[in-house]
Chains A and B, each alone.
Chain A
Amino acid sequence: MDAATVLIQAMNGIQYGLLLFLVASGLTLIFGIMGVINIAHGSFYMIGAYLAWSLMGWVGSFWIGLIVGVTVALLLGLVLEWLFIRFLYDRDHLQQVLVTYGLILIFSELRSMIWGDDVHSVPIPELLSGSIQLTENLAYPIYRLWLSGVCIVIAILMFLGIQHTRLGMMIRAGESDREMTKSLGINIGLVYRFIFALGVSLAAFSGMISAPISSVFPGMGSQVLIVSFVVVVIGGLGSIKGAMIAALLVGLIDTFGKVIHLDIFGVNIFPEMSGMSIFALMALILMLRPQGLFGREH
């Protein structure tokens, strides 16, 4: 591999990692603040991608589709919290897993009824369709750069929002003591509803912006859910910083795992095993630091 290839792969890895961060941060926010494990999180990613695909067809513009899609996801999150999730705060994890597992079945079947089981692709919006020439015969697509930039902006906004706004203060107060926050006159139920809807729209937004670079297919929800779980286990639960570092690590390892061909005693062990490299990393972390890189002792 020459330097240019390494650079391109590193950029792909970082871009994938940043996207994973968006999905995983929603998961870790919902758990860290509300204490709910939401395994339907991947479904929202899938819904986002399918929304992007069908809205492109109806509206014709990626950007209007993006706005409409995020609004739909936000409403969906509010309704779901009101219908199901608010009953789960005092329940044990097992019931949370089951309710959200039931939601996965419902969403995957609804997806099959509305959109079918075919694989689709979403074109890259015209504005970002070009690519930047790195060397004579290597170019990097602008869309991927834009995607990374958007993820970084959202990450910064999220950090600032939690640390420096009034709402962020309420969220942090609710995280450390729900009852006390309530007695201070803060409608914690409403804050939770907003957090859940925010998590849903983050996942759906990730699905929408990743649609143009990866195909839209039925199993994409489970796939991203499992990788997000790996990210959360490596980074430590409830830690946004941990989620960021773990997501970048997973993104880079997964990307390089697919291009590096490692020969051991003449047997090529990679390409086939590349899907497993991130799980091997997770197993290693579990052995050395079971609470995750940035997790608190539990």
Chain B
Amino acid sequence: MNIIFKNALLAALLVMLILLPVFGERFYIQFVSKILIMIIFVSSLNLLVGFTGLVSLGHAAFFGSSGYVLALFSPIGTSMNLFVALLASVLCVGALGAVFGALVLRTKGIFFIMATLALGEMLFYFLHDTAFAGGSDGIYIHDRPGFNLFDWWQLDLSNVSHFYYLALILVCLVLMLIKRIMNSPFGRVISGIRVNEHRTKALGYHTYKFKLVCFVIASMIAAISGFLAAVQFGVVNPEMVGWHASGHALMMVILGGKGSILGPVLGTTTLMLVEEIFQVATKHWQLLTGIVVVLVALFFPNGLAGLNFPKKRSET
């Protein structure tokens, strides 16, 4: 596809997204916000799965725990400064990511999949069984964080349009950040690890350190999405860290096409739209989702992005 055409398409999409709250109904604004949050989460997982070649089944641990950090630290009765709260969540989750990463990165391949799944579930049981974080019910966030610009303009996150724009800005920033990372020397090493870790090691790179840094970055980006999700729903619960949330995100990575910046955008949007249609059609929509996942994984392993740009297939 022509690069100018592609950029024009993206620009048109962006304009449509910016104009949505002006014309769209409340339901659609909220639904697109949900997709935007998911895009951030799926992009962070794609950084591990698609770019580094690390298949994690416990990535939701960082998504959910970010929401828990917000819920546990937000004071009752007053609204926290948005940027302080976001920074606190991202840093706490980054520290958690460093601990988890240091453990699971000692394993490879199938072991890595099992270890990430088990550590993620450990967090699930911890939050589910202990009382301090609300147990299986989770915690409500009564006062959403906000932002006050010189008493002149107030960012109110219970307002759907305000929230929508915040999510849109963060999605754009995250996608640009990932593009930047992958084009940097660091990103080249990461790609080298995916293609051939032994050779990258032989070139003198300490691959464990690079993988760990990448793991921490991915967990911090996941924290941004978890923070937004917690703010949007006003509640956090153990299901947010559970492994079904991780598996769900993994489906979107593959559906979109792993290892491309826009793959997660495509995959997330498609799957969430399809699931919305299934949910309206039948109570047993998970059955249809399961069939779609099996068919996609068997017949289109390169995802939708691989379908549209067949040239890319030979590259990878």
Which residues in A have their C-beta under 8 angstroms from that of B290? 102-106, 109
**Chain A residues with CB below 8 A from B126, complex form:** 273, 275-276
Cβ A91 vs Cβ B301 within 8 A: yes
**Residue in B103, B131, B244 whose beta carbon sits within 8 Å of that of A283 in the complex:** B103
Of the candidates A102, A106, A229, the one having the most CB atoms from chain B within 10 angstroms of its own CB is: A102
Per-residue CB contact flags for chain B residues 36-67 toward chain A (1 = under 8 Å, else 0) read 00000000000001000001010000000000
Chain A positions within 8 Å of B, measured between CB atoms, are 31, 37, 39, 84, 87, 91, 93-95, 97-99, 101-106, 108-110, 112-113, 222, 226, 229-230, 232-233, 237, 272-276, 279-280, 282-283, 286-287, 290-292, 298
**Contact of B250 with A by CB under 8 A:** yes
The residue of chain B having its C-beta at the shortest distance from the C-beta of A279 within the complex is B122
Within 8 A of A (CB), among B164-188: none
Residues of A within 8 A of B292 (CB): 102
**Which residues 89-110 of B have a CB within 8 angstroms of A?**
103-104, 106-110
Q: Which residues of A lie under 8 Å from residue B55 when comparing CB positions?
A: 93-94, 97
Known: A98-B254, A298-B109. A275 touches B49 (CB 8 A): no
**Shortest distance from the beta carbon of A216 to any chain B beta carbon, whole Å:** 20
Indicate if the CB atoms of B110 and A102 lie closer than 8 Å.
no
B-side binding surface: helix, strand, loop or mixed? Answer: helix
Closest to A232 in B: B114
B104 to chain A, nearest CB (A): 7
- Identify A112's interface contact among B49, B115, B243, B284, CB under 8 A: B284
The docked-state distance in angstroms from the alpha carbon of A286 to that of B100 is 11
Which residues of chain A come closer than 8 Å to B115, judged between CB atoms? 233, 282, 286
**A39 cross-chain contacts in B, Cβ below 8 A:** 57, 117
B121 touches A93 (CB 8 A): no
Cβ A109 vs Cβ B287 within 8 A: yes
Interface residues of B in 243-265 (CB under 8 A from A): 243-244, 247, 250-251, 254, 258
Q: How far is the CA of A97 from the CA of B108 in the complex (A)?
A: 15
- Residue of B at shortest CB range from A289? B106
Residues on A with C-beta less than 8 A from B250 are 94, 97-98, 101
At the interface, yes or no: B130 with Cβ under 8 Å from chain A?
yes
Q: Is the CB of B119 within 8 A of A93?
A: no
**Chain A residue at minimum C-beta to C-beta distance from B121:** A226
Check A113–B284 contact: CB distance below 8 A: yes
Residues of B within 8 A of A105 (CB): 286-287, 289-290, 293
Asked if residues B291 and A102 are in contact (CB atoms below 8 Å), the reply is yes
Do the beta carbons of A101 and B293 come within 8 Å of each other? yes
How far is it, in angstroms, between the C-alpha of A259 and the C-alpha of B88 when the chains are bound? 37
Ordered by A's residue number, 30 sampled pairs between the chains whose C-beta atoms are within 8 Å are A37-B113, A39-B117, A94-B55, A95-B301, A98-B250, A98-B254, A98-B297, A99-B294, A101-B247, A101-B293, A102-B292, A102-B294, A102-B297, A103-B294, A104-B247, A105-B289, A105-B290, A105-B293, A106-B291, A109-B284, A109-B287, A113-B284, A233-B118, A237-B111, A272-B129, A273-B126, A273-B129, A276-B125, A279-B118, A286-B107
- Beyond A102-B292, A275-B129, A279-B121, 6 additional pairs, beta carbon < 8 A: A37-B113, A102-B251, A113-B287, A233-B115, A283-B122, A290-B111
Q: Contact at B110–A93, with CB atoms within 8 Å?
A: yes
Known A-B contacts A98-B293, A105-B293; the reply to A275 vs B125 at CB < 8 A is yes
Q: Which residue of B lies closest to A107 (CB)?
A: B290
Contacts of B296 in A (CB 8 A): 98
Contact assessment for A106 and B287 in the assembled complex, using a CB-CB cutoff below 8 Å: yes
Q: Is A97's CB under 8 angstroms from B293's CB? A: no
Q: How far is the CA of A113 from the CA of B254 in the complex (A)?
A: 28
Given A276-B126, A279-B119: A286 touches B287 (CB 8 Å cut-off): no
Q: Which residues of A contact B108 (CB under 8 A)?
A: 298
- A237 and B113 CA atoms in complex are apart in Å by 12
Question: Bound complex: CA of A260 vs CA of B228, how far in Å?
Answer: 40
Check B118 against A229 for contact (C-beta < 8 Å): yes
The residue in B106, B114, B243, B286 that gathers the most chain A C-beta atoms within 10 A of its C-beta is: B114
Q: What residues on A are CB-neighbors of B114 within 8 Å?
A: 37, 229, 232-233
Q: How far is A106 from B287 in the complex, measured between Cα atoms in Å?
A: 5
Q: Which residue of B lies closest to A101 (CB)?
A: B247
